[in-house]
Structure 1
Amino acid sequence: MTTLTVYDPAMCCSTGICGTDVDQKLVDLAADLDWLKAQGVIVRRFGLSREPAEFAANETIRQIMQDSEGDDLPAFLVDGALKAKAHYPSRAELAEWAGLAALELEITEQVRELIALGAAIAASCEPCLKYHTKKAQEVGLTDAQMREAIAVGRMVKEASAKNIQALAEKLIPEPAKASSCCGSPKAEPAAATGCCGGSTKSAPVKEKAGSCC
């Protein structure tokens, strides 16, 4: 079984979304590594900030650290052999290293950015929206295409909000409200209250403005 080991440079986290700006390379790598795991590849990932001992324990990585003082990170080893350093590989490269068949369906950069725009709206992620709007323009997407992706994301967000609100109302229902004057069984007679515009006396009763019924 193939084992891929990733040695990341010093950083706060490996997700790419922990700061104010999104690092798309790290976001893509995280998705690609999850895909490799789903194909049966063993994936091990170490960060210089979190697991420095792992860097010192591997001779290949130790040599890279000595030669470049860490500038050649990240580094990727497959079954102990160095495959790449100083850059993050594409999914196609990772698949080739692991001996996996080429992907039949390739998501283009334009499709990826449309998905990201919709997801940014659904997640209410401002940094994500700013980043992917700029990226979408760079890969040639039109304003109309971006607006369509945003509309889809908004529909997903609104449907989710509506469904969760309905569940909340079901789990924690509103208390029943008190009935109005005309529906109360203990209401005073019409002559005494003037309600509903009638009186039992012969003299007509002038209807008050705004009275019920």
Structure 2
Amino acid sequence: MKTVELFEPAMCCATGVCGPSVNPELLMITGAFEAMSKVDGVQATRYNLSNNPDTFSQRADILAAMADDTETNLPITVVDGEIVKQGTYPTLEELGHYTGLVFVPADENKGCCGGSGCC
């Protein structure tokens, strides 16, 4: 099974729709992780520093990566136990590379996966 974990900075919600403005990057990540969670053979989990501090503190690799500067080193993407990206969210292309999945942005082809409902 392919495991993708995302360790995110402290925030009030993971969706990107809270606060004064919508964060399109968080919307994309939320959609991608929701889609990955529905695929057999992929386990996709997000951890928020404010909601899951114990998960952060139990991971020596994450604590070491955050030691220099939490603000610039988060988010951290971990694939199969190995840190693969720090400081920015993974792109759809990168998530596809990590998992072998193909992501189609929702605004292309009139919806996710061309409107087939597979996402």
Provide TM-score, normalisation by structure 2.
0.81
2:39 — aligned with what?
A: 39
Residue type of the partner of 1:76? T
Partner SS state of residue 46, structure 1: strand
2:77 — aligned with what?
A: 76
1:94 — aligned with what?
A: 95
RMSD: 2.0
1:55 — aligned with what?
A: 56
Pick the structure with greater CA Rg.
Answer: 1
Alpha-carbon contact 1:75-1:84 (below 8 Å) kept: yes
Uncovered stretches (5+) of structure 2, i.e. residues with no partner: 112-119
Alpha-carbon contact 1:64-1:70 (below 8 Å) kept: no
Structure 1 distance, partners of 2:92, 2:50, is: 25
Give the stretch that moved more between structures: 4-13 or 91-100: 91-100
Cα distance, 1:8–1:107 mapped onto 2, change above 3 Å? closer
Cα distance, 1:70–1:57 mapped onto 2, change above 3 Å? farther
Equivalences for residues 14-163 of structure 1 within 5 A: 14-40=14-40, 41-100=42-101, 102-103=102-103, 106-107=104-105, 111=107
Structure 1 distance, partners of 2:12, 2:90, is: 21
Residue type of the partner of 2:33? L
Residue type of the partner of 1:4? V
Uncovered stretches (5+) of structure 1, i.e. residues with no partner: 116-213
Structure 2 distance, partners of 1:98, 1:67, is: 29
Residue type of the partner of 1:6? L
Q: Give identity over the alignment, percent.
A: 30
More helix by share: 1
Residue type of the partner of 1:26? L
Tell me the CA shift for residue 72 of structure 1.
0.7
Higher relative contact order, chain-length normalized (CA < 8 Å, sep 6+) = 2
